[in-house]
Chains A and B, each alone.
Chain A
């Protein structure tokens, strides 16, 4: 059969069109993303390694107690011992950059989608597409539009990790109990006051879960993005694959896992408390369901990396 749907050709034409006519836009994006990435990189690498490790352990102690602090200290020692310290810091900088930008875009978008059904109707399928499209697919246009290096890596990562931030922000706001919204209005809230004094604070646990998910997804994508030169631990994994070097691949993978655990536990601890300092008083159901999301994610993330390994 000779006939073939030309979707692929269209996508290519679209990217080509953008390259020809909107280069200024990509230059601007390049500049913004590049600056944030450089800033994060600089901030993290300018800290002496010991001081940085000390900070992580202290945060762990503050948020999760001494057991976790000990685990953090030990696991950071393992990373240093593997000779992966610099790569891990690079990866962390990428994760922080991608997450910051994804949240800066995703949370307002989630708020908008929560307040407007039409926006929601457009955003929802777009998010589904962004999440289900194999992650590598983003790498091609990203590399074409931005060249190789950290910026296209971060951009592909932003696209991949933004959906949970949008989704859980929107969901959280939509699930604010109706009486609370009514109470807000009855006492004379303006739409802005309703958002910032009623909806956002009430949706905070859900939004924090979204942030946690975004960080975890960005970590998994940053590893894949090393294929277009994003750098970091992903490079080691990639090299392991290319050389069929099991030892190197395993060590790189271990560093990713350790980073994932540290990031997850620390960001989660913020999700269970809110800014007014109210102690966690979420029902077991909520805790379980969030743990449920996370477990599903933990299962899904290695699968993706495995798939990466197979195709790579």
Chain B
């Protein structure tokens, strides 16, 4: 995959003397110091990140962290003070006005938190706004707008006025407007933040569905981590104008770059982010089925390691079953010395796949007599999750 958008060392300083502030910034002065000395505000400081083609990239941060400024520099609603922004390899900070307008019309759609629909235009005219601006003919505008409205499920509302629609429907119109000219990049500035939770979840699903139909590069601004994790392929976390961490949600959750990022994730529902594979541990006793290892040897091994259960694999390390000290002793008693491991297997132990979310592991682990075995797509044993490990993971992130 190639980088669709590359942001390189981008800085934005608000105020009348950005150069002065920029020099101070380079000299290593803090944001507060610069504001006190020059009155200039640092919006974004030396931000670098790359957005891959076709991914949903979520920029997260508290208000004032510079995320809205950053996204507005991608279509130059705000001009960066320093740095480069490449879209398809072209540095857009050097575009002429005319080329910039052309780029906005052709390649960049935007969805706004406050919907920003034109109150004097009907729903279909709003959806066709970008096409009208770009000079498309009326019949083509109508067709494309109608198609975009159908795509977001508002085909029947073309003739309505935006004010007649609910918030969620208005934002669907906003989405249709951004999609109508089929841009390759979609910028979404807190697009769903003004909607109530149920509608927000519905819109997130809608976005994922649209994305599944046709891959666009989406840069999504959000302050809601649940939303970011739900829709984001990758996240960037911003703090005080800086990009402090970029990565997949589970990577960031497992290895937060600093306390700010950690605190961000404190209230997150980890059971939605982490999977069985993330929390499985390889510290259980494992036995190989075909090396002639009998129940007696197994019991000895378990006693040495002070364990109750052992995980049985076949010769190719595929998971076979679980035995316990108790069932092994039972088998030895019954089998008069010729017992096998198979006779000691616990009944009804089904392994869970590595990619099963933690939230779905919960019920299984609650009813399992032993730590829950985890297998990959080939059935290979990758570890087990004990009740203790599960609870520790929950505790660690709260």
B133 & A193 in contact (Cβ 8 Å cutoff) = yes
How far is it, in angstroms, between the C-alpha of A189 and the C-alpha of B77 when the chains are bound?
A: 12
Tell me which residues across on chain B come within 8 A of A193, comparing CB atoms.
133
B134 & A188 in contact (Cβ 8 Å cutoff) = yes
The residue that A182 contacts in the complex, of B108, B116, B120, with Cβ under 8 A, is B116
With A185-B77, A186-B104, A187-B110: A202-B130 Cβ-Cβ less than 8 Å:
no
A281 & B161 in contact (Cβ 8 Å cutoff) = yes
Interface size range on A against B:
20 to 34
How far is it, in angstroms, between the C-alpha of A185 and the C-alpha of B104 when the chains are bound?
A: 8
B120 & A187 in contact (Cβ 8 Å cutoff) = no
B105 & A187 in contact (Cβ 8 Å cutoff) = yes
**Does residue A179 face the partner (Cβ distance < 8 Å to B)?**
yes
What sequence of 0s and 1s flags, for each residue 169-180 of chain A, a beta carbon within 8 Å of any chain B beta carbon? 000000001011
- Give the Cβ gap from B73 to chain A, nearest Cβ, in Å: 12
**Does residue A116 face the partner (Cβ distance < 8 Å to B)?**
no
What sequence of 0s and 1s flags, for each residue 170-205 of chain B, a beta carbon within 8 Å of any chain A beta carbon? 000000010000000001000000000000000000
What sequence of 0s and 1s flags, for each residue 74-116 of chain B, a beta carbon within 8 Å of any chain A beta carbon? 0101000000000000000000000001101100111011111
Inter-chain contact total with CB atoms closer than 8 Å: 68
- Give the Cβ gap from A169 to chain B, nearest Cβ, in Å: 16
A281 & B122 in contact (Cβ 8 Å cutoff) = no
How far is it, in angstroms, between the C-alpha of A187 and the C-alpha of B133 when the chains are bound?
A: 7
Tell me which residues across on chain B come within 8 A of A274, comparing CB atoms.
120
The residue that A179 contacts in the complex, of B105, B114, B120, B177, with Cβ under 8 A, is B114
A202 & B129 in contact (Cβ 8 Å cutoff) = no
The residue that A201 contacts in the complex, of B105, B118, B187, with Cβ under 8 A, is B118
How far is it, in angstroms, between the C-alpha of A197 and the C-alpha of B126 when the chains are bound?
A: 11
- Give the Cβ gap from A192 to chain B, nearest Cβ, in Å: 11
- Give the Cβ gap from B190 to chain A, nearest Cβ, in Å: 11
B116 & A177 in contact (Cβ 8 Å cutoff) = yes
- Give the Cβ gap from B362 to chain A, nearest Cβ, in Å: 42
A187 & B104 in contact (Cβ 8 Å cutoff) = yes
Tell me which residues across on chain B come within 8 A of A177, comparing CB atoms.
114, 116
Tell me which residues across on chain A come within 8 A of B177, comparing CB atoms.
187
How far is it, in angstroms, between the C-alpha of A274 and the C-alpha of B163 when the chains are bound?
A: 15
Interface residues of A in 208-229 (CB under 8 A from B): none
Closest to A183 in B: B116
B102 & A186 in contact (Cβ 8 Å cutoff) = no
Tell me which residues across on chain A come within 8 A of B109, comparing CB atoms.
187
How far is it, in angstroms, between the C-alpha of A182 and the C-alpha of B111 when the chains are bound?
A: 10
B130 & A187 in contact (Cβ 8 Å cutoff) = yes
**Does residue B244 face the partner (Cβ distance < 8 Å to A)?**
no
How far is it, in angstroms, between the C-alpha of A184 and the C-alpha of B118 when the chains are bound?
A: 9
- Give the Cβ gap from B227 to chain A, nearest Cβ, in Å: 20
Tell me which residues across on chain B come within 8 A of A201, comparing CB atoms.
118, 120-121
How far is it, in angstroms, between the C-alpha of A198 and the C-alpha of B121 when the chains are bound?
A: 10
A180 & B118 in contact (Cβ 8 Å cutoff) = yes
- Give the Cβ gap from A92 to chain B, nearest Cβ, in Å: 31
Where chain A touches its partner, the secondary structure class is: helix
The residue that A188 contacts in the complex, of B119, B122, B130, with Cβ under 8 A, is B130
A182 & B134 in contact (Cβ 8 Å cutoff) = no
Closest to A204 in B: B120
Closest to B122 in A: A276
Tell me which residues across on chain B come within 8 A of A132, comparing CB atoms.
none
A188 & B102 in contact (Cβ 8 Å cutoff) = yes
- Give the Cβ gap from B294 to chain A, nearest Cβ, in Å: 72
**Does residue A278 face the partner (Cβ distance < 8 Å to B)?**
yes
**Does residue A289 face the partner (Cβ distance < 8 Å to B)?**
no
**Does residue A311 face the partner (Cβ distance < 8 Å to B)?**
no
Tell me which residues across on chain B come within 8 A of A186, comparing CB atoms.
75, 77, 104, 108, 110, 187
- Give the Cβ gap from A280 to chain B, nearest Cβ, in Å: 11
What sequence of 0s and 1s flags, for each residue 194-207 of chain A, a beta carbon within 8 Å of any chain B beta carbon? 00011001101000
- Give the Cβ gap from A173 to chain B, nearest Cβ, in Å: 14
Closest to B113 in A: A179
- Give the Cβ gap from A93 to chain B, nearest Cβ, in Å: 33
**Does residue B55 face the partner (Cβ distance < 8 Å to A)?**
no
How far is it, in angstroms, between the C-alpha of A204 and the C-alpha of B118 when the chains are bound?
A: 12
Tell me which residues across on chain B come within 8 A of A187, comparing CB atoms.
104-105, 109-110, 129-130, 133, 177
A276 & B121 in contact (Cβ 8 Å cutoff) = yes
Tell me which residues across on chain A come within 8 A of B120, comparing CB atoms.
201-202, 204, 274, 276, 278
How far is it, in angstroms, between the C-alpha of A281 and the C-alpha of B163 when the chains are bound?
A: 8
| Interface residues, chain A, with chain B CB atoms under 8 Å away | 177, 179-180, 182-190, 193, 197-198, 201-202, 204, 274, 276, 278, 281
For the A-B complex with A186-B77, A188-B101 known, give 11 more contacts whose Cβ atoms are closer than 8 Å. Answer: A177-B116, A179-B112, A179-B114, A182-B72, A183-B110, A183-B129, A185-B104, A186-B110, A188-B134, A202-B119, A281-B163
**Interchain residue pairs with CB less than 8 A apart (6):** A182-B77, A186-B187, A187-B104, A187-B130, A188-B130, A281-B163
